[in-house]
Amino acid sequence: MATLSRKTRERLKAELPPAASISNPVDILGDAPPERYEAAVNIVLEDEGVDAVVVIGIMQSPAFIPGKVLKVLKDAKVFGKPLVFVGPGGSYSDRHLKMIEEEAKVPSFKTPEDAVRALKYLVRWSEVRRKHCVR
């Protein structure tokens, strides 16, 4: 996991509630409205030491608003870094994971382990391409 820069941690501290975790992994708390998701995701993606982000959403939370989460995920693409979404849970989560993949075009997983495994393979693919492909 990346070590977040001092500047990133300071920005997160200014945006997040006192009980939130501002080191990696960042925890914006279960009551997080979409604006808090957006601020945290964007701040972390702006950190030059961060190569990819795993966003975990608790879709059963009353604060989870699918349309706004889709917007946050779509807007985060401007940073050009891999972003994946994790939504643990049952069939309710499954429906939202499918929607996130189809509408935001963001790979979605049921567990953080699956998301990290996918990113590992993406990194490996990139390394092999860089090593063996003629430019």
Task: Tell me: pLDDT of 47 over 80.
Answer: yes
For the purposes of burial, counting CB atoms within 10 Å of the CB of 12, is it exposed (0-12), middle (13-18) or buried (19 or more)? buried
- 3-state helix, strand, coil split of the chain in percent (to 5) is 55, 10, 40
Judged against a pLDDT cut of 80, whether residue 32 lies above it is answered with yes
> Using CB atoms within 10 A of its CB, is residue 40 exposed (0-12), middle (13-18) or buried (19+)?
buried
Q: Flag whether the pTM goes above 0.85.
A: yes
Helix then strand count (H, E) for the chain reads: 5, 3
Architecture category of domain 6-132 in CATH: 3-Layer(aba) Sandwich (3.40)
